[in-house]
Amino acid sequence: MRTKWSEYINPAVQQIPPSGIRRFFDLATEMEGVISLGVGEPDFVTPWHIREACIYSLHRGRTTYTSNHGLLELREGIADYLSSQGARYNPRKEILVTVGVSEALDLAFRTLICPGDEVIIPTPCYVSYLPCTELAGGVPVTVATSMEDQFRLTADKLEAAITPKSKVLLLCFPNNPTGAVMDRENLLKIAEVVRKHDLLVISDEVYDRLTYTGQHTCFAALPGMQERTIVLNGFSKAYAMTGWRLGYAAANEEFIAAMTKIHQYTMLCAPITAQVSALEALRHGKAAMEDMVAHYNRRRRLVVQGFKEIGLPCFEPGGAFYAFPYIGNTGLTATEFAENLLLEEKVAVIPGDVFGPGGEDCVRCSYASSVEDLTEALQRMGRFLKRRGLQNSKVVYI
């Protein structure tokens, strides 16, 4: 007879730590006057024409299930977009609409990973990657990137991490939490290593539209990579649709068929209202999306300059909406920095160590907030640093 309810819980679940992001989010919500730079949540509302498409669909009574794969017209729209990025997919057999990119990631892991398979993950990385690998029975192998390499994965580092058990490479560029981007030249070098060692690739490209320097390269569009790559993407970041929970996976027919098996038993289909709205976003959302990206770009320049002004070296992010300033010169660990900043100045940031090796001396700051909040946050952080002997300068508007 077990004496504690916890003894009934799967040990694999018990060993997974709670999300470091949500810990600070929960602390911040319990305090008044906090400026949160913690959660990757756009401060924009979903554009009206997208919300209107949802409302109109409800008025028309579109409240049914869809195909497990998702609405065909939505998959056709996704295929058209991916084609514009250089990757051609059959919308009937090679695209699966999911409940957020998170479900697509879980399906990809459970489809590809056998117990003991190694998944190579460049870090710092999104907090879900390591625990989701373990839940699928895989072994995460982290490859630490650095500010000196602009937080990019290099072919040499990838090569050094490969063992006979290596099966999957997980990429996320533009990157959460660093904002790093990979250009085509560097991705081609990664593709050579992938081909040489017969690796599969899961490429999380949910921030692809939020690229400020150069042009985003879809990994599946590289020579010889489409058949061995599962591309993950969605609508949350580019169209401010986080709460709609809609993503998709694109891959070869065999991979999508296997992922659909799991999807049809665990989720059945994504909500039809979210799918209708996503189709509207693809068809008519470009102008609104580009306007939001322009605002993010302005904020990006503001926070990077602001961090440097107050004494925190900061890598210039080329994508997403995160900055990853270095705080190792403060004498505090990343966790100590984040906790003390929250308690003393009511600014919430995320300690970089929760994102894995390479993030220990940094904090993640989302600039998906208003210019006014970002400027006030920088001023508060300046006061915080000045008390610790670091020079505080005036924050400059851009």
State the pLDDT at residue 19: 75
Q: Which of 253, 209, 259, 258 is nearest to 234 (CA)?
A: 209
Q: Which of 174, 269, 171 is nearest to 225 (CA)?
A: 171
Contact 143, 95 (CB under 8 A): no
Model pLDDT for residues 78-130, shown as the tens digit of each residue: 999 999 999 999 999 999 999 999 999 999 999 999 999 999 999 999 999 99
Global pTM reads: 0.94
- Give 299: exposed, middle or buried? Use CB within 10 Å, 0-12, 13-18, 19+: buried
Helix axis angle for 72-84 and 272-284, nearest 10°, is 40
- Residue 396 is classified by DSSP as P
Q: Which CATH class is domain 48-284?
A: alpha beta
What is the sign of the dihedral through the CA atoms of 315, 321, 324 and 325?
positive
Query: Would you say the CATH fold of 48-284 matches that of 8-46+287-387?
Result: no
CA atoms of 175 and 317, how far apart (whole Å):
9
CA atoms of 365 and 351, how far apart (whole Å):
9
Model pLDDT for residues 203-246, shown as the tens digit of each residue: 999 999 999 999 999 999 999 999 999 999 999 999 999 999 99
Structure tokens at 105: 């990631």
- Where are the chain's structural domains? 8-46+287-387, 48-284
Provide the 3-class DSSP secondary structure of residue 334: helix
Q: Which of 366, 383, 299 is nearest to 28 (CA)?
A: 366
Name residue, tokens 């040489």: 196
Structure tokens at 226: 């489409």
Superfamily of domain 8-46+287-387: Aspartate Aminotransferase, domain 1 (3.90.1150.10)
State the pLDDT at residue 281: 98
Residue ranges of the chain whose pLDDT lies below 70: 20, 22, 391-398
Contact 289, 380 (CB under 8 A): no
State the pLDDT at residue 322: 98
